């Protein structure tokens, strides 16, 4: 196969110079594996990018996309629609916690976050509480890369280059507490009190000025931070007490990652708005969505019927190919029981991941469902290099992992079998030892 010219493409979230010296190119995928341009198979330990939950090249999804492209390639989403948009919204709503029954389509998690923030601000305004303009995020939170998302997000590298961002944003602390919770299997026992930070911000800013709080049920991109027992429940209680909307960013935790359709069900807390993307189409066609409570939607449905109620949307909202892929994806999840499969195999996954305790430089391990994080001690003066070297080592040995800082993140497709788990963990173990 002829090598492409690598010069023109500025790659996202990539060490471009290193990559172009030693490119890692995939040309095919199927099931649990990618195939490189060199013909090597690479076991996918991260579901593409937290998104290919049903595995690669699933026949029903591929066929649905092909047939939809030939039937209806595009339909305008403003003042017009196509049947599959309504069908997909209904199917998604059936999977959601009770009360979340309205679905607005976007094209990515980043767009979904900004959409949810705008919905929250507009909701308070249409109810006569336009003074509620403050948005609260969390340290180490990741909410995509649009300006709203990086404003409420709390990952320093994603923020520091881009100026002042949105005004009126504050942050509560992250929940990472290795002194008390290192090597916890599942939810940590300590840390529910971190939610009291929201009470402090209410006292500082006046709660009547706060529109919404946004958190990931499991903070994924920062290194898999599992919520302490009782933490999300306490956030819900504080929001209810002060009339603040609670937004869950379930771009990563949605569609089976934690053992239920959504993290909200795993942790027993229902937000007012829920952000999703990635697994909604198995990563095959870009798509995102925001689910909202009916009461929030209904607050907009006033005034003359010929007027637009919410001035927001995208050219490719509810794109026909994305909707077709989404419906086929949900069929595949349902037919194979994938949205709850992590409940069956998650115990074996947890045992395997935690078997890395005691390996050189492993300072913490975190897990829930089919997601795990292995935190490594950084090399003095070179933060992130130890994990990146292990990433390259694993790739050379035929296993794809993800790193963020000095944490290795694992989030394999939900179709994973025990032998795949063994290979992933054994490969990571050997690489950790080689780079001790």
CB-count exposure of residue 345 (10 Å: 0-12, 13-18, 19+): buried
403 inside domain: yes
Under DSSP, the state recorded for 337 is: T
- Mean pLDDT (whole number) for 271-293: 98
Read off the pLDDT band of 123 (50, 70, 90): very high
263 and 390 inside one domain: no
- Mean pLDDT (whole number) for 66-88: 98
Read off the pLDDT band of 1 (50, 70, 90): low
392 and 422 inside one domain: yes
360 inside domain: yes
With a cut of 80, say whether residue 325 has pLDDT above it. yes
310 and 205 inside one domain: yes
318 and 215 inside one domain: yes
Q: Residue 86, SS3?
A: helix
169-172 vs 134-138, strand pairing mode: parallel
CA distance 6 to 19: 10
53 and 197 inside one domain: no
Under DSSP, the state recorded for 108 is: S
With a cut of 90, say whether residue 2 has pLDDT above it. no
Please say whether the dihedral angle defined by the alpha carbons of residues 217, 221, 224 and 228, taken in this order, is positive or negative: negative
Under DSSP, the state recorded for 340 is: G
1 inside domain: no
151 and 267 inside one domain: yes
- Mean pLDDT (whole number) for 94-121: 98
CATH number for position 72 = 3.40.640.10
Residue 71 CA, chain-centre distance (Å), reads: 31
CA-closest candidate to residue 216, choices 192, 191, 249, 238: 249
CA distance 60 to 298: 36
CA-closest candidate to residue 75, choices 323, 305, 309, 286: 323
Domain boundary among the residues 287, 309, 336 is at 336
Backbone angles phi, psi at 399, to 5 degrees: -135, 130
3 inside domain: no
Q: Which of 49-58, 114-123, 156-165 has the lowest mean pLDDT?
A: 156-165
**Which residues, at least 6 apart from 412, have a Cβ–Cβ distance to it below 8 Å?**
32, 44, 45, 46, 47, 370, 420, 421, 424
Distances (CA, A) of 412 to 184, 322, 369, 370: 20, 22, 11, 7
Please spell the DSSP secondary structure of 139-180, one letter per residue: TT----SSHHHHHH---GGGTTTSTT-SSSEEEEPP---HHH
Domain boundary among the residues 336, 354, 380 is at 336
159 inside domain: yes
5 inside domain: no
CA distance 177 to 194: 10
CA distance 2 to 260: 44
Q: Tokens in use for 143? A: 């909410």
Looking up tokens 């929250």, which residue turns up? 120
pLDDT at 258 (0 to 100): 98
With a cut of 80, say whether residue 249 has pLDDT above it. yes
With a cut of 80, say whether residue 296 has pLDDT above it. yes
331 and 344 inside one domain: no
8 inside domain: no
pLDDT at 315 (0 to 100): 98
192 and 259 inside one domain: yes
Backbone angles phi, psi at 101, to 5 degrees: -130, 10
25 inside domain: yes
291 and 353 inside one domain: no
329 and 390 inside one domain: no
Domain coverage including residue 422: 16-58+338-434
Read off the pLDDT band of 147 (50, 70, 90): very high
CA distance 219 to 99: 24
- Mean pLDDT (whole number) for 216-231: 97
210-215 vs 134-138, strand pairing mode: parallel
pLDDT at 189 (0 to 100): 97
Backbone angles phi, psi at 60, to 5 degrees: -65, -40
Question: For residue range 174-213, what is the model confidence (pLDDT) as tens digits?
Answer: 999 999 999 999 999 999 999 999 999 999 999 999 999 9
33 and 69 inside one domain: no
Q: Residue 307, SS3?
A: coil
- Mean pLDDT (whole number) for 17-39: 97
Read off the pLDDT band of 58 (50, 70, 90): very high
Which region holds residue 160: left if phi is over 0, alpha if psi is between -120 and 50, else beta?
A: alpha
Tally of structural domains, the chain: 2
Backbone angles phi, psi at 26, to 5 degrees: -100, 140
**Which residues, at least 6 apart from 365, have a Cβ–Cβ distance to it below 8 Å?**
183, 353, 354, 356, 357, 372, 373, 374, 375
Q: Tokens in use for 365? A: 């391990």
CATH number for position 424 = 3.90.1150.10
Distances (CA, A) of 215 to 73, 145, 271: 35, 15, 10
278 and 355 inside one domain: no
Domain boundary among the residues 274, 304, 336 is at 336
CA distance 116 to 365: 32
- Mean pLDDT (whole number) for 347-358: 98
CA distance 245 to 45: 35
């Amino acid at each position: 196969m002829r090598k492409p010219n690598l010069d023109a493409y500025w790659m996202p979230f990539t060490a471009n110079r290193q990559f172009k010296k030693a490119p890692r190119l995939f040309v095919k995928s199927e099931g649990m594996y990618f195939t490189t341009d060199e013909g090597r198979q690479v076991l996918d330990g991260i579901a593409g990018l937290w998104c290919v939950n049903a595995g690669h090249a699933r026949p029903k999804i591929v066929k649905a996309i092909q047939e939809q492209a030939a039937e209806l390639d595009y339909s305008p989403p403003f003042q017009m629609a196509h049947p599959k948009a309504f069908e997909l919204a209904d199917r998604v709503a059936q999977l959601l916690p009770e009360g979340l029954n309205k679905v607005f389509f976007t094209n990515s998690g980043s767009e979904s976050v900004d959409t949810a923030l705008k919905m929250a601000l507009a909701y308070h305004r249409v109810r006569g509480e336009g003074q509620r303009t403050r948005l609260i995020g969390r340290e180490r939170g990741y909410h995509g890369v649009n300006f709203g998302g990086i404003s409420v997000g709390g990952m320093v590298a994603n923020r520091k280059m881009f100026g002042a961002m949105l005004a009126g944003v504050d942050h509560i602390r992250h929940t990472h507490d290795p002194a008390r919770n290192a090597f916890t299997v599942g939810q940590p026992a300590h840390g529910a009190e971190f939610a009291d930070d929201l009470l402090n911000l209410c006292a500082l800013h006046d709660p009547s000025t706060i529109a919404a709080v946004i958190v990931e049920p499991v903070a994924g991109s920062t290194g898999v931070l599992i919520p302490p027992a009782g933490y999300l429940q306490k956030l819900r209680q504080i929001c209810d007490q002060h009339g603040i909307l609670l937004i869950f960013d379930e771009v990563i935790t949605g569609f089976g990652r934690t053992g239920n359709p959504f993290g909200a069900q795993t942790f027993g807390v229902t937000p007012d708005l829920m952000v999703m993307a990635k697994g909604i189409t198995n990563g095959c066609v870009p798509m995102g969505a925001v689910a909202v409570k009916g009461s929030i939607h209904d607050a907009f449905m006033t005034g003359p019927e010929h007027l637009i109620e919410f001035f927001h949307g995208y050219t490719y909202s509810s794109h026909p190919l994305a909707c077709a892929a989404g419906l086929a994806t949900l069929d595949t999840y349902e037919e194979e029981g994938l949205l709850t499969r992590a409940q069956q195999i998650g115990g074996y996954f947890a045992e395997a991941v935690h078997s890395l305790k005691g390996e050189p430089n492993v300072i913490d391990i975190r897990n829930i469902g089919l997601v795990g994080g292995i935190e490594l001690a950084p090399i003095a003066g070179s933060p992130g290099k130890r994990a990146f070297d292990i990433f390259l080592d694993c790739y050379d040995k035929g296993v794809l992992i993800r790193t963020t800082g000095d944490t290795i993140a694992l989030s394999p497709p939900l179709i994973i079998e025990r032998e795949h788990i063994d290979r992933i963990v054994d490969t990571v173990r050997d690489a950790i030892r080689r780079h001790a």
